[in-house]
Amino acid sequence: MEYLSDRIKSLSVSQTLAMAQKSGELKARGIDIISLSLGEPDFNTPDYIKEAAKKAIDDNYSRYPPVPGYNDLREAISKKFKEENGVNYSSDQVIVSAGGKHSLINVILSIINPGDEVIILAPYWVSYYDQIILAGGTPVVVEAKLENDFKIRPDQLEAAITGKTRLIIFNSPSNPTGMVYDRNEMEKIARVVEKYEGLFIISDEIYEHIIFSGEHVSMASFDFIYDRVITVNGVSKGYAMTGWRIGYIGAPLWIAKACNKLQGQFTSGVCSIAQRAALAAIQGTGDSQKMMKEAFLRRRDLICGLLKDVKGLKVRVPQGAFYVMPDISYYLGKSDGETKIGNSDDLALYLLDKAQVATVGGDAFGAPDCLRISYATSDDLLVEAVKRIKGALERLK
Ligand code: PMP
Ligand code: GLU
């Protein structure tokens, strides 16, 4: 007999991780799977960062680190916010956590009471939804359409705000669509937030360094809502450090203090060695980031060009991150023999089975007509993957 809490029963399994696990198991059985499911750079962590971690071991960074992170790391993050994002966060306003995912749940648990509403913008990153549920909040989904480049209009946002709305989660560049809001579009959203006292906005900027045209704009740089923005970031994507588990926030001091209190009872300060590596990453020259960005841009052009030739897919060319989210609704309701494609998850499973390509169905992202493809893999594999996808889709009648 299992006695699980209602809390855990209310949570779904992360579909990005579930699909990655499934494809990993098939690979381990010797099946030639091409993995376009998990969103992580395929590059190794740059050498200068690895050297810093090795040195930290030798320098005996082996004791409990301070709960909110080492002071010099928080100062370096504070400097980074000022220089790169034009945002003033003192080091006291910075809290280092075990990945951006951990930073997000800290903030959500710190400000959401049961019954509070949190607005998320579909297509949204999977974990936003379930983290809100975990905090007892109610996710309110505002849908951005492919026809509008997967961006919401300010009036859509405003229409979703009620007396119970406490928080909006915003993410540009976006996982899963790769879309990037420009300054003008962001300012309009910021103006909506400004109108409602007690309404906060998390700006998840974890893909800020992977942007192909235009500039990254930080929500907190609009000074009229500065004290209502919590900026979430981390080193996972920009520095190919997904496994090191370092994320951070910049926030109003009272929110930073709350996250510190939570970490003090929950995780303590995060891995000392990883923090030293993150310090080196943030203080680096940015050369490796430039190289990775160029590779992602080349791959974006490659995969979007190939996907446009696949019958029935509608593709919006992403401007950042390393995802593309084609609309696959043309194939819903079609069959290959006994296999019927009822929804996007069925299609992802069909492609895994028949094309040996792992993707993630759009349902978990609040985008049931779409499929998420992570193109953070080699050019050759991308060409082969789209060839296989095309072949399998052609069999659907
Ligand atoms: N936000 C978004 C939009 C993401 O795609 C990810 C990737 N996992 C995260 C936050 C969290 O990243 P991590 O926990 O690896 O730092
Ligand atoms: N953010 C990545 C993704 O969306 C990693 C997996 C996860 O943390 O959910 O695939």
Query: Are 371 and 330 spatial neighbours (Cβ–Cβ below 8 Å)?
Result: no
Q: Around Cβ 322, how many Cβ atoms within 10 Å?
A: 28
- Read off the pTM: 0.96
CA 235 to ligand 1: nearest atom: 16
Ramachandran area for residue 371 (φ above 0: left; ψ -120 to 50: alpha; else beta): beta
Give domain 61-283's CATH number out of 3.30.1300.10, 3.40.190.80, 3.40.640.10, 3.40.50.970. 3.40.640.10
Number of neighbours of residue 29 by Cβ within 10 angstroms? 8
Query: Which among 96, 105, 120, 125 is the best mutation to test ligand 1's pocket, defined by most ligand atoms within 8 Å of the CB?
Result: 125
Name the token pair of 24. Answer: 């990993």
d(CA 183, CA 239): 25
Question: What is the C-alpha separation between 60 and 57, in angstroms, rounded?
Answer: 5
Query: Measuring from atom 4 of ligand 1, which residue has the nearest CA?
Result: 175
Q: Please, what are the averages of pLDDT over each run of 10 residues along the chain (397 residues)?
A: 92 89 90 93 96 98 98 98 98 98 98 98 97 97 95 97 98 98 97 97 97 95 98 96 98 98 97 98 91 96 97 96 97 95 96 96 96 96 98 97
What are the Cα distances from residue 197, in Å, to 161, 162, 190, 193, 241? 12, 12, 13, 8, 37
Of 357, 241, 246, 256, residue with least CA distance to 307: 357
Q: How many CA atoms are closer than 13 Å to the CA of 83, on its beta-carbon side?
A: 8
Cα–Cα dist 42/375, whole Å: 9
| Residue 239 tokens, joined | 């520095």
Give the binding-site residues of ligand 2, using a 6 Å CB cut-off. Answer: 14, 16-17, 38-40, 101, 126-127, 175
175 within ligand 1 shell (Cβ under 6 A)? yes
Q: What angle do CA 168, 175, 300 make, to 5 degrees?
A: 150
Bridge pairing between strands 339-340 and 335-336: antiparallel
Give the up-direction half-sphere exposure of residue 343: CA atoms within 13 A in the CB hemisphere: 9
Alpha carbon distance 312, 303 (integer Å)? 16
- Say which ligand is closest to the CA of 375: 2
- Of 182, 138, 136, the C-alpha closest to 162 is 138
Specify the CATH superfamily of domain 6-44+288-394. Answer: Aspartate Aminotransferase, domain 1 (3.90.1150.10)
| Residue 224 CA to ligand 2 centre (angstroms) | 32
Which one of 104, 127, 244, 377 would you pick to mutate in the ligand 2 pocket, going by the greatest count of ligand atoms within 8 A of its CB? 127
Q: Which two tokens stand for residue 114?
A: 């049961």
Say if residues 263 and 107 touch (Cβ distance below 8 Å): no
**Do 383 and 39 form a contact (C-beta atoms < 8 A)?**
no
Please report which helix (H) or strand (E) contains residue 80, including its range. Answer: helix 71-85
pLDDT for the residue numbered 19: 87
Residue ranges of the domains in the chain? 6-44+288-394, 61-283
242: which DSSP letter? G
Tell me what pLDDT residue 287 has.
87
* Predicted local confidence at residue 151, as pLDDT: 97
